[in-house]
């Protein structure tokens, strides 16, 4: 098999039809062998208690040559489900299509596969995407200009922020098999598959952004990174930092660790501000290491930093600044 599309699924009965149909609508004519597309969709349902598995099974019965479906009665968890999916394919290339997302461009997969076929030094291809809400209405766009990143170039940027949308990715399975240890990911409690995998692949191979908007990433109220619950958002950030620490131990970093650590603290500061956790904001200000003017302002002039970031934290910036000053006087 040339390419497998992995679809981990759980309780996405409302969305999975759109996801599967976006796969079936793909034009695979450029990656056929003897007139037959060398592509499959593998769906793994992780003990859903809604209609997810029944819908997926219905598609597999209609398109047995294109779709395989598996069901688990005991929860695997996200990492365990991805490990199962990867173990079920020997394809050269792997794409990700989670069951609440969908593809927009009809040649989304073939473009990625064709590029890597012609460029063996490239281990991962991605694009930009639309963001949509639970009803599929457009929220915004995560753009990605066309660019080829040399090995470790995208890696250095990813350590600061994951700018690669999972729904747009196609990667070489051989590289993932060699450099991505999902047993580690699971034992360490990683809550996301994509971030550690993109980091590992980009540390050892080239990465290409083709500049298109090829897919739609769905953001709902249950999305951890979009949660209105401070503790959940904080746990998400802590999980991200755990992944970064693990990656640094494995692959190192060519840039300034102080700058990287400061960026992690800034994310904590802005999260605290956005939830009105003023004492938490002031606490994290003290964690900033002064390495330039920006870090000096954040460490010693926290009120000024708030005013500069008021567009991010909203019109309550002045009241937040007043609360910080009150906190400082205590």
Alpha helices, DSSP H only, in 94-220?
108-118, 153-158, 173-179, 182-187, 194-204
pTM of the model: 0.90
The domains of the chain are located at 3-225, 256-329
Mean pLDDT across the stretch 21-45? Answer: 90
- The C-alpha atoms of residue 97 and residue 117 are separated, in whole angstroms, by 21
Mean pLDDT across the stretch 45-62? Answer: 97
Mean pLDDT across the stretch 171-183? Answer: 98
With CA atoms as reference, report the closest residue to 306 among 259, 269, 258. Answer: 269
- 210 Cβ neighbours under 8 A, 6+ residues apart: 111, 112, 115, 125, 126, 127, 146
Angle at 187 between CA 280 and CA 41, to 5 degrees: 105
pLDDT tens digit string along 59-101? Answer: 999 999 999 999 999 999 999 999 999 999 999 999 999 999 9
Reply yes or no on whether the pLDDT at 212 is more than 50. yes
Label residue 206 by pLDDT band (50, 70, 90).
very high
Please give the sequence-ordered ranges of beta strands (E in DSSP) within the chain, or none if there are none.
Answer: 3-9, 32-33, 36-37, 39-46, 67-72, 93-96, 102-103, 122-132, 138-142, 147-149, 170-172, 206-218
Reply yes or no on whether the pLDDT at 118 is more than 60. yes
Tell which CATH classification among 3.30.479.30, 3.40.50.970, 3.40.50.2300, 3.90.550.10 matches the domain 3-225: 3.90.550.10
pLDDT: is 94 or 303 the higher one? 94
């Amino acid at each position: 098999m040339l390419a497998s599309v992995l679809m981990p699924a759980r309780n996405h009965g409302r969305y999975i039809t759109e996801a599967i149909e976006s796969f079936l609508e793909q034009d695979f004519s450029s990656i056929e062998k003897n007139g037959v597309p060398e592509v499959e969709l593998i769906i793994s349902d992780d003990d859903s208690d809604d209609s997810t598995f029944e819908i997926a099974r219905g598609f597999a019965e209609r398109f047995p040559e294109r779709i395989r479906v598996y069901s688990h009665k005991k929860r695997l968890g996200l990492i365990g489900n991805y490990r199962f999916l990867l173990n079920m394919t020997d394809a050269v290339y792997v794409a990700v299509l989670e069951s609440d997302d969908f593809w927009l461009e009809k040649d989304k997969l073939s473009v990625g596969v064709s590029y890597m076929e012609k460029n063996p030094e490239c281990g991962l291809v991605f694009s930009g995407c639309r963001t949509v809400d639970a009803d599929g209405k457009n929220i915004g766009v995560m753009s990605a200009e066309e660019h080829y990143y040399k090995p470790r170039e995208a890696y250095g940027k990813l350590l600061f922020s994951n700018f690669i949308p999972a729904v747009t990715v196609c990667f070489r399975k051989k590289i993932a098999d060699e450099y991505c240890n999902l047993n580690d990911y699971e034992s360490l409690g990683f809550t996301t598959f994509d971030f550690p995998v993109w980091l590992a692949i980009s540390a050892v191979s080239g990465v290409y952004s083709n500049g298109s908007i090829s897919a739609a990433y769905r953001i709902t109220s249950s999305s951890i990174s979009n949660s209105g619950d401070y503790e959940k958002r904080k746990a998400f950030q802590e999980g991200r930092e755990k992944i970064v620490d693990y990656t640094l131990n494995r692959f190192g970093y060519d840039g300034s660790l102080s700058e990287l650590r400061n960026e992690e603290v800034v994310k904590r500061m802005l999260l605290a501000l956005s939830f009105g956790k003023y004492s938490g904001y002031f606490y994290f200000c003290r964690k900033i290491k002064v390495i330039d003017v920006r870090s000096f302002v954040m460490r010693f002039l926290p009120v000024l930093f708030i005013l500069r970031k008021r567009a991010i934290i909203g019109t309550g910036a002045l009241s937040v600044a007043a609360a910080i000053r009150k906190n400082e006087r205590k």
